[in-house]
């Protein structure tokens, strides 16, 4: 009898977030699950790793039927810790999420959820990050769970290219209103930031980083932002080659 | 008379690091300089941003002839703070570094130095990250300063494509032994991690993340790793499109 797939589950909202519970429940249908997730919220941590301080892990019993570890580090630290220390073998799949909030477009670079999935891909593990476009702690994950199952099933049966992970975003809609999955590319966009200035009780200024997302390509129908705005689950294959290949030739004059 | 270029200088080793002093000295030859850098080392922070806590800034007087601000956040926070709050206008150039240590290949994704430069590019500012392949606090930045000047001169005179920044790495060699600049692409590679397990005075385990870099493409002569190994300064144009365009077609079967 073939061994069951070993599935690593992580996230950036922390091991106690409702979204990771939803993803653990889905993953258990497909294999043996090991949860290694941050011991506290780590949203916006991007691809941060812990090199100037130390890491701790703790075995917990939150999700029965799965191994549970919390880690004091970032989402990427969790993946490194799982693969290099905690798991009995290299996992067959790494899933991250389900994130409370969107990770489309440029958000992939700020997202701890997606950075964990990218780290899995860097380590040669088929990896998927899932996000639901609902920040609420009481978000309804039922449609996201169904689509997570569909994507996990596809990834276990098919192959992802070496170094490629999937960025899956689910619109905040009931299942009946979701039109299906759309494979797409990352939209170009940015955050128009505001730094919300306040004064503490001692009279010193401090700031909250806040802002509004701007899609640079509202007319393009092949992007993740378009897909989500139009009721689709977006799936963007993603990889770590940041080279702007189209500029290499022009730059050659830098020596001249 | 034309206004002098406004140059934002940041880094990830913190505002007191020798590498940023070297970069401030170079930048001052080209324009008015404003330093906005982390108040403590932020290596390995990747594209992390501060959203679960607040930010503080403090005006300092470390580098005379320049505006100096320290920021309690990450390198990316520093760029956002500079552009949205501290600078009188959008800067003409954003430079980050000079980092103490390499940021070639996959390291671009973990690097606070390069994430600051990428954030500059996202904001539409010509941006460059500089790194010297020498971790020592007593590193000799003299050759790196000369090459930083060459690159800054080129970028101010020419244009970078929208959303593209440069990742510049300088080998640890005296000026006389550096063969020049090589424009190249990011090499594929990874870190083979070890988690160095130790026991604290109370008997609890903790871990240091450590490892050894592996270049997946030792035979390719068009990569940054090859350039540095062969005595060149590497310049890689870099951008935030992580889409694995080559996989989009294959993934369409996910709905089927």
The burial of B256, by beta-carbon neighbours within 10 Å (0-12 exposed, 13-18 middle, 19 or more buried), is given as exposed
Percentage with pLDDT > 70 across chain B: 99
Q: Tokens standing for A180? A: 């299906």
| Cross-chain Cβ contact B160/A197 below 8 Å | no
pLDDT of residue A256: 66
Is B87 touching A (CB cutoff 8 A)? no
**pLDDT in the model for residue B122:** 93
Let me know the angle formed at the C-alpha of A14 by B48 and B57, rounded to the nearest 5 degrees. 35
pLDDT band at B183 (very low <50, low <70, confident <90, very high): very high
**In this structure, what DSSP letter does residue A222 have?**
S
The structural domains of chain B, ordered by start, are 6-187+221-255 (3.40.1210.10)
Chosen for mutation from A241, A246, A250, A253 (greatest number of chain B CBs closer than 10 Å) is A241
Contact B181 A48 (CB under 8 A): no
3-state helix, strand, coil in chain B (%, to 5): 30, 30, 40
Each residue of A197-231: pLDDT tens digit? 999 988 999 999 999 999 999 999 999 999 999 99
Torsion, Cα B151 B157 B160 B163, to 10 degrees, reads: 100
Check CB contact under 8 Å for A237 and B243.
yes
**How high is the ipTM of this complex?**
0.87
Instruction: Give the Å distances, CA to CA, from A249 to A37, A181, B237.
Output: 43, 37, 10
Nearest to A185 among B83, B161, B243 (CB): B243
Query: pLDDT digit string (tens) for A48-84?
Result: 999 888 999 999 999 999 999 999 999 999 999 999 9
Q: Is A236 on the interface with B (CB under 8 A)?
A: yes
Interchain CB distance below 8 Å, A160 and B235: no
| Cα separations in angstroms, B47 against A144, A255, B94, B153 | 27, 30, 16, 27
Please report which confidence band the pLDDT of residue B153 belongs to, taking 50, 70 and 90 as the band edges: very high
Contact state of A46 with B45 under an 8 Å Cβ cutoff: yes
Q: How confident is the model at residue B256, as a pLDDT? A: 65
Burial class of residue B197, CB neighbours in 10 A (0-12, 13-18, 19+): exposed
The answer on pLDDT for A128 being more than 60 is yes
The yes-or-no verdict on residue B159 having pLDDT over 90 is no
Asked if A50 and B44 come within 8 Å (Cβ–Cβ), the reply is yes
- CB A118 within 8 Å of CB A12: no
Query: A83: buried, middle or exposed (CB in 10 Å: 19+, 13-18, 0-12)?
Result: buried
pLDDT over threshold 80, residue A255: no
Q: What is the pLDDT of residue B150?
A: 95
Distance CA A9, CA A97 (A): 8
Confidence of residue A93 (pLDDT cuts 50, 70, 90): very high
Percent of chain B residues past pLDDT 90, beyond the cut: 83
From the list B51, B205, B209, the residue facing A209 with the nearest CB is: B51
pLDDT at B97: 96
DSSP string, A100-149: ES---TTHHHH-HHHHHHHHHHHTT--EEEEEES---TT---HHHHHHHH
Query: Which among A51, A84, A253 has CB closest to B44?
Result: A51
């Amino acid at each position: 009898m073939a061994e069951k797939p070993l599935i690593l589950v992580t996230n950036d909202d922390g091991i106690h977030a409702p979204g990771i519970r939803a993803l653990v429940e889905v993953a258990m249908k497909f294999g043996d699950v090991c949860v290694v997730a941050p011991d506290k919220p780590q949203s916006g941590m991007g691809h941060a790793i812990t090199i100037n301080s130390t890491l701790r892990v703790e075995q917990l019993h939150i999700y029965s039927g799965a191994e549970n570890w919390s880690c004091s580090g970032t989402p990427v630290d969790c993946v490194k810790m799982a693969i290099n220390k905690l798991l009995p073998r290299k996992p067959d799949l790494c899933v991250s999420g389900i994130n409370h909030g969107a990770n489309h477009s440029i958000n992939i670079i700020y997202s701890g959820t997606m950075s964990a999935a990218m780290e899995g891909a860097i380590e040669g593990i088929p990896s998927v990050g899932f996000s639901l476009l609902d920040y609420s702690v009481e978000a309804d994950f039922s449609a996201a769970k169904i689509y997570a199952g569909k994507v996990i099933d596809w990834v276990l049966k098919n192959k992802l290219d070496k170094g490629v992970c999937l960025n899956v975003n689910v619109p905040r809609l009931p299942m009946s209103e979701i039109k299906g999955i759309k494979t797409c590319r990352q939209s170009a966009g940015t955050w128009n930031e505001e730094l919300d200035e306040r004064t503490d009780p001692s009279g010193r200024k401090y700031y909250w980083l806040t802002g509004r997302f701007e899609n640079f390509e509202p007319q393009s129908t092949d992007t993740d932002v378009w897909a989500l705005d139009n009721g689709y689950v977006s799936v963007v294959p993603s990889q770590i080659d940041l080279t702007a290949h189209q500029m290499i030739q022009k730059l050659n004059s830098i020596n001249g």
